[in-house]
Amino acid sequence: MKKEKYTGIRTPRPRTGSAPKTLFILMVLLIALFMMASPVLAGKSYNWKISQGIAEDHPAAARCKQFARIVKEKSKGRMKLNYFPAGTLGDWSEQIEANRMGTLEIGLNAGSTSYNPKTNLMFMPYLFSSWDEARAAIGSKGWLTPIFNDLYSTIGLKVLGIYLNAWDGMAYTSRVKNLVKVPADARGKGIKMRVPPIRIFEVYIPTLGFISTPVAYSETFTALQTGIVDARSACPAVEAYVMRDAINTYVATRDAFEYWFLTMNKKLWDSLSPADQAILTASADKVMADQAVAAEQDEKDFMNKLTKAGVKVYEVSDQEWKLSAKAVREKAWPIIEKELLGTELMNKIKQHATPISQ
């Protein structure tokens, strides 16, 4: 038997499973590290348009830009929103339609009642009486946001946030000789009150003692000057200031609130991951909360400007507000419920409306 010569070199015995297992662990670690370092792999990237259809010097422009900035920061650059100045993508109504169709991904615009009569809720008179109540109603945790979201979902939009624009007031020309703060001051005086050509205003303004006269906004200044109307409703302090040469008295009635809406195309919203939806919701909450504080200060500033311009400015007291609210709720709300909102929606509104003594 031949003896093998020892060479000093050991032939290694193969280890079953050790190398493949180690290699697998290394690959998993490398993939995890790469994903953490790459925002594209951590989540999908987007490039969207955002716009508003009002004047470029309106605060809505700054809020669009603020929202775009916060979303970009929270998404670590994955979500980019390109702001298009007012008018570039059409007026506010054209932008709402583009938002519905998806050619404009996100818009911040006044609401429209053209698609669903229940959206007249955005002009609901004497719903609440203070800024604090209005602020508590909005945001992702507010009671009003899910209601409007349900309404807008029927026309293909997701409500990301409610933009508190301003309280409505009433502006009077010199043809109205007596101060009007409660319904009794107006009854029998024959005051022709301009209202927007929107049904809910045509319903409730007469219950306050006025002759309801629908006039388009673009024609309102001339109508005040020429006597077609003696006064105008749906008038925030800023609009009263714009028309200061045609009026001599402004009453901050707080009869209705003007909301705008930050909306997203619903199909696009539904396609997003829960994490990305959360980014948009949190960003909208921040922007709308900032606006809700700034809007109150803006209102005070414009009332001061009106006073300096020679317009007499009055604010109704809580008791005066309740007198008007009682008249409107008793006479106009039943009509609004029957013609526009329906019983189910009206019952929700009644649950949250500012309590007043019967």
How far apart (Å, rounded) are the C-alpha atoms in residues 46 and 320? 51
Q: What one-letter code names the amino acid at 331?
A: K
Least confident of 31-35, 56-60, 161-165, 299-303: 31-35
At residue 16, the pLDDT reads 47
Q: What is the pLDDT of residues 126-154, one digit of tens each?
A: 999 999 999 999 999 999 999 999 999 99
Q: 237: alpha, beta or left, given left = phi > 0 and alpha = psi -120 to 50?
A: alpha
Number of neighbours of residue 288 by Cβ within 10 angstroms: 26
Q: What does the alpha-carbon distance between residue 44 and residue 273 come to, in Å, rounded to a whole number?
A: 9
- Nearest CA-CA partner of 257 in 136, 99, 107, 101: 136
Share above pLDDT 90 across residues of the chain, in percent, rounded to a whole number: 81
Q: What is the pLDDT of residue 21?
A: 58
User: What's the pTM value of the predicted model, to 2 decimals?
Assistant: 0.83
What confidence tier does 24 reach under pLDDT thresholds 50, 70, 90?
low
Token pair listed for 242: 């714009």
**SS3 state at 28:** helix
User: Cα torsion for 157, 163, 164, 169, to the nearest 10°?
Assistant: -60
Residue 42 has a pLDDT of 54
Q: Is the pLDDT of residue 354 over 60?
A: yes
Check pLDDT > 80 for residue 17: no
User: What integer is the mean pLDDT of 149-176?
Assistant: 96
Angle between helices 274-308 and 59-74 (to 10 degrees): 150
pLDDT tens, 49-80?
A: 999 988 888 889 999 999 999 999 999 999 99
Percent of the chain with pLDDT over 70: 88
With contact defined as beta carbons under 8 Å apart, do 254 and 167 qualify? yes
Mean model confidence pLDDT for the chain: 90
DSSP string, 120-165: GGGG-TTS--SHHHHHHH-STTSSHHHHHHHHHHTTTEEEEEEEEE
Question: How is 303-347 classified by DSSP, letter by letter?
Answer: HHHHHHTT-EEEE--HHHHHHHHHHHHHHTHHHHIIIII-HHHHH
Q: Where are the domains of the chain?
A: 44-165+258-298, 169-256+306-352
pLDDT at 22 over 90: no
**32 band by pLDDT with thresholds 50, 70 and 90:** low
Q: Which CATH number is correct for 44-165+258-298, 3.60.20.10, 3.40.50.2300, 3.40.190.170, 3.40.50.1240? A: 3.40.190.170
In angstroms, the CA 133 to CA 193 distance is 27
Q: Do 144 and 220 meet the contact criterion of CB atoms below 8 Å apart?
A: no
Instruction: Name the CATH architecture for the domain at 169-256+306-352.
Output: 3-Layer(aba) Sandwich (3.40)
Say which DSSP state 90 is in: B
What integer pLDDT is reported at residue 86 of this predicted model? 85
For residues 191 and 16, which has the higher predicted lDDT (pLDDT)?
191
Half-sphere exposure of 278 (CA within 13 A, CB side): 3
Domains 44-165+258-298 and 169-256+306-352 equal at CATH topology level: yes
Tell me which residue of 138, 128, 102, 100 sits closest to 116, measured CA to CA: 100
DSSP state of 354: P
Q: Distance between CA atoms of 261 and 248, rounded to whole angstroms?
A: 32
Q: 330-350 pLDDT, tens per residue?
A: 999 999 999 999 999 999 999
pLDDT (0 to 100) of residue 31: 56
Tokens of 72: 């970009």
Measured distance between the N- and C-terminal CA atoms of the chain, rounded to whole angstroms: 120
CA–CA dist 239, 133 (Å, integer): 23
Q: Are strands 192-195 and 211-214 parallel, antiparallel or unpaired?
A: parallel
Mean pLDDT for 83-112 is: 93
